[in-house]
Amino acid sequence: MERTGAAAIIIGNEVLTAKVVDANGPHLIRRLRERGIPLRSMEFVLDDVDAIVDAVARARARAAYVFTSGGIGPTHDDVTVRAVALAMGRPVVRLPEMVELVRRKYDHVTEEAMRLADAPEGAELLYQEGTWFPALTVDNLFLLPGVPQLFKIQLETVLARLKGSPVHLRNLYLRLGEGAIAAVLDRVALDMPHVAIGSYPVFDAGLDYRVKVTIESAESGPVEDATARIRGGLPADAVIRQE
């Protein structure tokens, strides 16, 4: 099976025990969407070497690009580098470039701080403005920090290197419930399998619609065609608005 798109692994005991609310996952989802890179999966795991190794193996089996978030600092629970190296069958090495950066950053360099210079063998450093700590990549796997401010900066550096295909999208906001529109959506989805059609009901009386329907594809023509077919199959007053 051809590996396409991206997969993400959010790493950290603090996320899975509700000590910290993850912000990196939602941000990554939005930015990948905007760049036209489909996200195949997102998995949350503990700061556990075996758990990370398993998650990396699953992610690399399904996606061309893999992003990890968290676990790359100097403390005892930062085990992502070691786990990624194990998953990829590579030793952990100390990068001379990172050693120099760590020495410049800290007045007194401890052995623990020097762990920041460790990486899977063959890793590449991606430098960017706004932070002294470069992004780390090896074989299309990108190890990003868990701190949201740093994650955002380094993610942009990574995304600038990747190619995507922006998706064409239409949104229909309907006054009808899903039961009344399901047959129409079924027919269009069956006739146009290359167009992704989604139906999302809401139950908020404060909103002016009952169902949001999304129509998307890599090309604009099929999106407009599917939108017209859906609208044509519904009562004239069913669509409140189209975006």
Looking at residue 77, its pLDDT comes to: 87
Looking at residue 1, its pLDDT comes to: 61
Cβ atoms of 149 and 167 within 8 Å: the answer is no
Distances in whole angstroms, Cα of residue 82 to Cα of each of 70, 120, 124: 13, 7, 16
Sign, Cα dihedral of 146, 152, 154, 160: positive
Residue 137 clears pLDDT 90, i.e. is over it: yes
Looking at residue 119, its pLDDT comes to: 96
Cβ atoms of 53 and 81 within 8 Å: the answer is no
Residue 89 bridge partners (DSSP): none
Distances in whole angstroms, Cα of residue 177 to Cα of each of 46, 205, 243: 40, 13, 19
Tell me the pairing of strands 141-144 and 135-138: antiparallel
Cβ atoms of 102 and 74 within 8 Å: the answer is no
Residue 2 clears pLDDT 80, i.e. is over it: no
186: its two tokens: 């079924």
Q: What is the pLDDT of residues 28-76, one digit of tens each?
A: 999 999 999 999 999 999 999 999 999 999 999 999 999 999 999 888 8
Q: Pick the residue with more confidence: 129 or 199?
A: 199
Phi-psi region of 217 (alpha: psi -120 to 50; beta: other; left: phi over 0): beta
With a CB cutoff of 8 Å and minimum separation 6, the contacts of 132 are: 101, 104, 105
The per-residue pLDDT of the chain, averaged, comes to 95
Q: Pick the residue with more confidence: 2 or 11?
A: 11
